[in-house]
Amino acid sequence: MSAVSASEKVDGFTRKSVRKAQKQRKSQSSSQFRTQNTPIELSPLPQLKDAPSTDQQELFCQKLQQCCTLFDFLDSVGDLKSKEVKRAALNELVDYLSTNRGVLVENAYPEITNMISTNIFRALPPSDNPDFDPEEDEPTLEAAWPHIQLVYEFLLRFLENPDFQPSIAKRFIDQKFVLQLLELFDSEDPRERDFLKTILHRIYGKFLGLRAFIRKQINNIFLKFIYETEHFNGVAELLEILGSIINGFALPLKAEHKQFLMKVLIPLHTAKALSLFHAQLAYCVVQFLEKDPSLTEPVIRGLLKFWPKTCSQKEVMFLGEIEEILDVIEPSQFKKIQEPLFKQISKCVSNPHFQVAERALYFWNNEYILSLIEENIDKILPIMFSSLYKISKEHWNQTIVALIYNVLKTLMEMNCPLFDELTASYKTQKQREMIKEQERDELWKKLEELQVSRTSEIQNNSHGFPAALNNNNSNNNNNDPQESSGDVEATAVIMEDLHQDATDTACESVSCAK
Amino acid sequence: MRDLQGIDSLLLNELKSCCAKEYNFLPREAGLNLIEINAIHSGVSAKCRDGKVEELRSLTSFFGYRTQTFVQAVNLLDRFLTIMKVQPKHVPCIGVCCLHIAAKMVEEESNVSPTHELIRISQSRFTVSDLNRMEKIISEKLSVDPDMVTALTFLHLYHSAIGSLEEIPSIGRLEAQLKACLCRLVFSKAKPSVLALSLIAQEFEVLQSATLLKIIQQFQKHLKIGDSELLHWKELVTKCMMEYRSSECNKPDNKKLVWIVSRRTAQSLQTYHFSVPGLPTIPEMSWDESESEDSCEDLSSVDSSPCGSLGSDGEGAFFPSLFHH
């Protein structure tokens, strides 16, 4: 199976047909290994609801132990009866836990966590499709889901049970448990990740002692994702959990959290698969800024530093994030970043990719952003003006041209004298450039004419033999020093003019860039 | 050899002949008065006209039309409004039509924007055929003369006359100021020669040059512009310029702009706003940190975590150190 080249993936315009044609579906691998050689028969235990209350605890533990037996779901015909027994037992356990009180006695905890660990902590199968594109391809679902789903359900009810005691549970739900849980976030099955998300969220909430550890491990996962593998399926879910954590941060923010923002969250924007988790990532960033507005400047500078240069799909996402940040920004913070930010927006607005230009122009439809621009119009208008004015004449897309009109009109109404001034200076600059261009053309023409005249001179003086030509050439030079040196001089003057011209233009463009 | 105090005689003759012609292009005063007193809902009001002219100014700027196009367009508009009784709903069509007529007269053919583009950009509701019909009507009712004499004509003449005698700033600023003035109906009542002169007078007042004052007086003498008339208009112009220069946002309350985006962008805008996540907030406890002391001891046992520790470039330092507070 040949890989799809990078050029076919740019901008999300992946050609599905290309890859589907190349893909050969391998059979799904299982994540469970048969440890027994002989098949295990499970015999159904009596129902919990039928058992007398004195026996219920014992029966509960027995059922838990029974559910520790693992089955191979890739074998779709084997052990059907036993699988059904286990499924029914799991179902019953879930119900029993949800509807009864007093189930969670101290010695039930290790049995419960053992059953859960045995069932869900497994090595995830290697991906069937090494070029798995989460946006386009169907994910490989977990084969043993009929059982595993119930185990997750059970774990969740366990954590949310009113009798649940973190002080007892923390002996079993420890760092090792959490670490293995985190590894499962790499599952391709979205249903599994959804459960894991809720479960980890509850664990974080209830086990204060594990919080720092969880944060650290999530950091590790992200950093490895950004800098080493660029592969992890659970980034969005982890970010969602982080969103609710960030939302709950106490003020003033701890240095650790600020470091996390700058060293992990901002670099996370560089990931190729950003579209999968951008919404959640943007939410986290905005939450940080709402907690501590003084972080605005480093955040925006960080985003500008990582601004996408070749992926337009990402650029549109970045613009969306900037708008969300601007929606909550404080005017004093805005003043600090307005110049670099609008320089970038000015480039986006003249981007030939129409979606990027549109998204950037649409900022002017946002009332709050307009009020910020208006307050600082004398700084912002000069930055935006020339690119807006230029593309109003040059952009290929008609919708964009209409939007530019809206933007120019809005800006004009904000500060008419400044706008008129900029228009006038833009026009004079254009005039000057045109004149320079003409002058340069004329210089080249003169140079050409000079060359033509010299060549014809040489040809006239030669007797048609190459050797003689050289001789005659040098003779010519020697004999008529004035004439030829005059030519040389004229050429030198013209070359100097052209050089000066080039230097001037270079200087101008440098000063413009500043 | 020119008398330093005297205005170039050629220019002076030009000025006089323009003065003679300017009456041909004045909107009827009675009509202007009527517009001024019109309340908004009974016929075309000053506000309606002013709003439309502001829009024409934006369009002129956007399409890169010259000031002359704008000035002529406003002149046509005012003249038309004063001789025909029009309903306010037709004013947008008339305005855009006047701009188009003026552009065809003044601009090079390649620079004139096609009518459908004009209509689309100005977000107007009428069609190209409406515009064409209106054009015929206006051309019939008004004498559309490419050499029409406007305040801009006089401005250029005054400016070049003075420019040969004194150092003065370029005409660009004056043109911008004239455009700003024309956005007020009141200035259509002024004779173009007087309006242009009052603009110059107020602009160069700052320069405090006795020579300039004398030149202005000469203009007055030759073109028979009275002191009181000039003063009256100069005052109005000064007031208008003060408002123009003030940095207050000047949003005419005409229609809101329509923002049309492509389907893809519209879709992404809708789905963009990430709704509040389903997970409830977990408040950070102040004793989180002391609790983390516990986990510190366990940390050593999971150093060889499969998730990998932070990179070996030493950046990992910031986390472990926190546990040793």
DSSP secondary structure string for all residues of A170-235: TTTS-HHHHHHHHHGGG-S-HHHHHHHHHHHHHHHHH-GGGHHHHHHHHHHHHHHIIIII---TTH
The pLDDT of residue A469 is above 80? no
Asked if pLDDT for residue A128 goes beyond 80, the answer is no
What is the average pLDDT score of chain A?
Answer: 84
Question: Cα separations (Å) of B130 from B96, B127, B135?
Answer: 11, 5, 9
Distance of CA B188 to the CA centre of its chain: 18
Query: What percent of chain B lies above the pLDDT cut of 90?
Result: 13
Say how far apart CA B258 and CA A367 lie, in whole Å. 14
> Which member of B252, B279, B291 has the closest CB to residue A240?
B279
To probe the interface with A, which of B61, B124, B299, B312 has the most A CB atoms within 10 Å? Answer: B61
The shortest CB-CB distance from B251 to any of A245, A365, A413 is to A413
Please tell me which of the candidates B258, B307, B323 has its beta carbon nearest to residue A220.
B307
Least reliable range by pLDDT among A102-111, A297-306, A334-343, A494-503: A494-503
Q: How far is CA B132 from CA B97, B144, B227, in A?
A: 8, 15, 45
Of the partner residues B273, B274, B305, the one whose CB lies closest to the CB of residue A280: B274
Looking at residue A472, its pLDDT comes to 46
Q: Which residue has the higher pLDDT, A388 or B221?
A: A388
| pLDDT confidence band for B211 (50 / 70 / 90) | confident
pLDDT tens digits, A213-235: 999 999 999 999 999 998 899 99
Amino acid at B63: F
Task: Please give the DSSP secondary-structure letter assigned to residue A261.
Answer: I
Q: Which pLDDT score, from 0 to 100, does residue B159 have? A: 85
Q: Which residues of B touch A217 (CB under 8 A)?
A: 305, 307
Query: If you classify domain B39-145 with CATH, what class do you get?
Result: mainly alpha
Q: From residue A55, how far is each of A51, A86, A106, A164, A210 by CA, in Å?
A: 6, 20, 16, 21, 35
The whole-angstrom distance between residue A294's C-alpha and the CA centroid of its chain comes to 24
The owner of tokens 């206006």 is B138
Q: How far is A249 from chain B (nearest CA, A)?
A: 5
B306 shares contact with chain A (CB less than 8 Å): yes
Phi, psi of B90 (to 5 degrees): -90, -10
- C-alpha torsion sign, points A268, A270, A272, A274: positive
Tokens of A411: 């800006």
Range B308-316 contact pairs with CB under 8 angstroms and sequence separation of 24 or more: B308/A220, B308/A224, B308/A228, B309/A220, B310/A219, B310/A220, B310/A223, B311/A223, B311/A227, B315/A263
Residue type, A240: E
Say whether domain B1-26+150-250 belongs to CATH 1.10.472: yes
Out of A427-431, A442-446, B11-15, B251-255, give the one with best mean pLDDT. A442-446
3-class DSSP state for residue A471?
helix
Q: Considering chain A, what percentage of its residues have pLDDT values greater than 70?
A: 81
Which of A259, A399, A408 faces B261 most closely, judged by CB atoms?
Answer: A399
For the ranges A170-179, A186-195, A433-442, B314-323, the lowest mean pLDDT is seen at B314-323
Structure confidence at residue A261 (pLDDT): 96
Distance (Å, whole) CA B204 – CA B194: 15
Domain limits, chain A: 42-125+140-173
Look up the pTM and report it.
0.79
pLDDT value at position B318?
A: 38
Separation of CA A359 from chain center: 17
pLDDT tens-digit profile of B65-98? Answer: 999 999 999 999 998 988 888 888 889 999 999 9
Residue with tokens 């990027």: A356
Give me the pLDDT at residue A110, please: 92
Residues 6+ apart with CB under 8 A from A264: A219, A222, A223, A226
Is residue A481 reached through a cis peptide bond, with omega within 30 degrees of 0 on the bond before it? Answer: no
Chain B residues in contact with A378 by the CB 8 A cut-off are 247
CB-based contact (8 Å) between B299 and chain A? yes
CA distance B75 to B153: 13
Instruction: Write down the pLDDT at residue A127.
Output: 75
B314 to chain A, any CB pair closer than 8 A? The answer is no
Q: What CA–CA distance (Å, rounded) separates A264 from A297?
A: 17
Output the pLDDT for position A24. 54
Percent of the residues in chain A that have a pLDDT greater than 90, as a whole number = 52
pLDDT over threshold 70, residue B20: yes
Residue A489: per-residue pLDDT = 62
Give contacts of A280 with chain B, Cβ < 8 Å.
Answer: 274, 277
Compare CB distances from B257 to A205, A279, A409 and report the shortest one's residue: A409
Whole-number mean pLDDT of chain B? 77
Q: Which residue has the higher pLDDT, A288 or B255?
A: A288
Query: pLDDT (tens digit, 9 = 90+) per residue, A309-344?
Result: 999 999 999 999 999 999 999 999 999 999 999 999
A220–B274 CB contact, under 8 Å = no
| Residue A51 per-residue DSSP state | S
Angle between helices A190-206 and A175-183 (to 10 degrees): 160
CB interface of B with A, residues 69-98, below 8 Å: none
A506: closest CA of chain B, how far (Å)? 28
Backbone conformation region of residue B114, classed left if phi is above 0, alpha if psi is from -120 to 50, else beta: beta
| A148: pLDDT strictly greater than 80 | yes
Give yes or no for B312 touching A (CB within 8 A).
no
Judge whether B111 is closer than 8 Å to chain A, CB to CB: no
pLDDT given at position B163: 77
**Which residue did the predictor score with more confidence, B193 or A441?**
A441
Q: Mind listing the pLDDT tens digit for each residue in A68-87? A: 888 888 877 778 888 888 89
Closest CB from B120, B282, B315 relative to A204:
B282
Where residue B44 falls among pLDDT bands split at 50, 70, 90? confident
Contact A228 B277 (CB under 8 A): no
Q: Average pLDDT for residues B298-307, to the nearest whole number? A: 38
More confident residue, A481 or A144: A144
- Better-predicted residue by pLDDT, A106 or A489: A106
The CA distance from A280 to A240, in Å, is 6
Q: At what angle do helices A481-513 and A416-461 cross, to 10 degrees?
A: 160
| B234 min Cα distance to partner chain A (Å) | 19
Q: Is A415–B172 a contact, with Cβ atoms under 8 angstroms apart?
A: no
Contacts of B112 in chain A (CB under 8 A): none
**What is the spatial distance between Cα A403 and Cα A363, in angstroms, rounded to a whole number?**
11
| Per-residue pLDDT at A470 exceeds 60 | no
CB distance from B256 to chain A under 8 Å?
no
User: B229: distance to nearest CA of chain A, Å?
Assistant: 27
Q: Which range scores top for mean pLDDT: A106-115, A211-220, B151-160?
A: A211-220
Share of chain B above pLDDT 70, in %: 79
Whether chain A has a CB inside 8 Å of the CB on B124: the answer is no
Average pLDDT over residues A418-440: 90
Angle separating helix axes B67-83 and B91-106, nearest 10 degrees: 140
**Confidence class for position B37, pLDDT limits 50, 70, 90:** confident
pLDDT at A502 over 70: no
Q: Where are the domains of chain B?
A: 1-26+150-250, 39-145
- Position B220 pLDDT exceeds 80: yes
Q: How far is B289 from chain A (nearest CA, A)?
A: 8
> In this structure, which long-range contacts are made by residues B163-172, counting pairs with CB atoms below 8 Å and at least 24 apart in sequence?
B164/B2, B164/B8, B165/B2, B165/B4, B165/B7, B165/B211, B165/B215, B166/B209, B166/B211, B166/B212, B166/B215, B168/B204, B168/B207, B168/B212, B169/B203, B172/A424
**Can you give the pLDDT at residue A298?**
96
Provide the pLDDT confidence category of residue A26 given band limits of 50, 70 and 90: low
Confidence category of residue A473, pLDDT binned at 50, 70, 90: very low
For A298-334, what is the HEC assignment?
HHHHHHHHCCCCCCHHHHHHHHHHHHHHHHHCCHHHH
Q: Residue B307: what pLDDT?
A: 39
**Would you state the pLDDT for residue A304?**
97
Please state, as a whole number, how many other Cβ atoms lie within 10 Å of the Cβ of residue B271.
8
- Mean pLDDT, residues A46-53 taken together: 79
Closest CB to B58 among A210, A412, A414: A412
What is the rounded average pLDDT of the residues A345-365? 93
Residue A379's Cβ-side half-sphere holds a number of Cα atoms within 13 Å equal to: 14
Interface contacts A/B by beta carbons within 8 Å:
172
Does the pLDDT value for residue A241 go beyond 80? yes
Range from A179-183, A278-282, A445-449, B287-291 carrying the lowest mean pLDDT = B287-291
Q: Does B292 touch chain A (CB under 8 A)?
A: yes
pLDDT of A490: 62
pLDDT tens figures, A198-217? 999 999 999 999 999 999 99
Answer whether B319 sits within 8 Å of A423, measured CB to CB.
Answer: no
> What pLDDT band is residue A507 in, cutting at 50, 70 and 90?
low
pLDDT at A508: 54
**Integer Cα distance of A407 and A413 in angstroms:** 10
pLDDT of A393 higher than 90: no
| Pick from A346-360, A366-380, A473-487, B156-170: least confident | A473-487
Check pLDDT > 70 for residue B7.
no
Q: What would the DSSP string read from start to end of B215-265?
A: HHHHHHHHHT--HHHHHHHHHHHHHHHHHHHS-------SPPPP----HHH
Tell me if A209 and B272 make a contact (CB, 8 A cut-off). Answer: no
Do B39-145 and B1-26+150-250 have the same topology in CATH? yes
